[in-house]
Amino acid sequence: MPRIEKKSGVFVVKGIPTITVNAKNCAVKVTGWDKPEVQYSLTQYTNSRSNAPVNLTETHTESSVNITIDHPDSRDRGPVWGESNNTRIEIFVPRKTNLKVTTGGELRVDGVSGNLELTGADEMINIRDSQGNLKITNGDGQVRIIGFNGEVDSQTGDGEVYLEGEFSRINGNAGDGSYILTVPDNPDAEIKANIEALTIENLRVPTALSEGHWRFGTGGPKYTFKVVDGGVTVRSSASLNQ
């Protein structure tokens, strides 16, 4: 018979805390809120063939919280958020938080501002309405960065990376994966990429400054992409509503 194991905790923090989460076989969701507290809730669904509960360890100070989740069952493949027989943790943090998350499951971050260092594997990473300096690494899983304001450093294998927001700088690297950048109708930016041509959707063709170097409008923020077999698409935000 399936059963549910749960564990939760709450910590009061001061200033801009540093939150570190190491969750190898666990889906992670982090949400910013207007409280000087860090609150987590861990849920594990098990069946008769996998009865060992996960091990969760936590340490905290006034300015930091560290959470580590270890699954004793090595047969577990790192479940996806929403599947049966899975493990997931939901964490609420102050909106201004420096965040570091490493996980093999799906990762979602919503409404957090600060230095964000996110490392995944082959599942989806989804960042919404956040800002600051984002460093994101993923394997084959799709990455969606929506409503972000700030700098982005991205490393991906074969997954697609979707970027939509106000970016002061982008540095993207991919293997077979591709980057899809959504911009306003009349963007001002410069793009460098190690490809022959950009894919342009519903935008004016940019000015080619040199090989692998294009300028939209009057220029501005610099976006750099390096891909092995992938591509770079730049599309208008208006096209998403058509």
Over 90: is that where the pLDDT of 2 sits? no
pLDDT mean across residues, the chain:
91
Over 50: is that where the pLDDT of 35 sits? yes
Nearest to 131 by CA among 98, 108, 175: 98
Structure confidence by residue, pLDDT tens digits, 222-235? 999 999 999 999 99
Domains of the chain: total:
2
User: Is 198 exposed, middle or buried (CB count within 10 Å of its CB: 0-12, 13-18, 19+)?
Assistant: buried
**Cα separation, 152 vs 161, whole angstroms:** 12
Same structural domain, 88 and 7: yes
Question: CA distances (Å), 8 to each of 142, 171, 205, 237, in order?
Answer: 29, 37, 53, 40
Over 70: is that where the pLDDT of 61 sits? yes
Same structural domain, 68 and 150: no
Handedness of CA 100, 177, 228, 201 (dihedral sign): negative
Q: Is residue 87 part of a domain?
A: yes
pLDDT band at 71 (very low <50, low <70, confident <90, very high): confident
pTM: 0.91
Same structural domain, 91 and 161: no
Same structural domain, 7 and 105: yes
Q: Is residue 130 part of a domain?
A: no
Last residue of a domain, one of 111, 131, 149: 111
Structure confidence by residue, pLDDT tens digits, 151-210? 999 999 999 999 999 999 999 999 999 999 999 999 999 999 999 999 999 999 999 999
pLDDT band at 48 (very low <50, low <70, confident <90, very high): low
pLDDT band at 74 (very low <50, low <70, confident <90, very high): very low
Same structural domain, 102 and 208: no
Question: For residue 177, what are its two tokens?
Answer: 């994966």
Proportion of the chain above pLDDT 70, given as a percent? 90
Over 70: is that where the pLDDT of 75 sits? no
Q: Is residue 122 part of a domain?
A: no
Q: Is residue 126 part of a domain?
A: no
Quick one: pLDDT at residue 46? Answer: 74
Instruction: For residue 158, give its domain range.
Output: 139-242
Higher pLDDT, residue 84 or 240: 240
Same structural domain, 90 and 168: no
Same structural domain, 97 and 173: no
Q: Is residue 145 part of a domain?
A: yes
Sequence-ordered list of residues with C-beta below 8 angstroms from that of 53, at least 6 positions apart, any chain: 5, 44, 46, 72
Same structural domain, 144 and 85: no
Structure confidence by residue, pLDDT tens digits, 118-144? 999 999 999 999 999 999 999 999 999
Nearest to 68 by CA among 78, 60, 56: 56
Question: CA distances (Å), 44 to each of 47, 74, 95, in order?
Answer: 10, 15, 26
Residues β-bridged to residue 156? 138, 174
Q: Is residue 133 part of a domain?
A: no
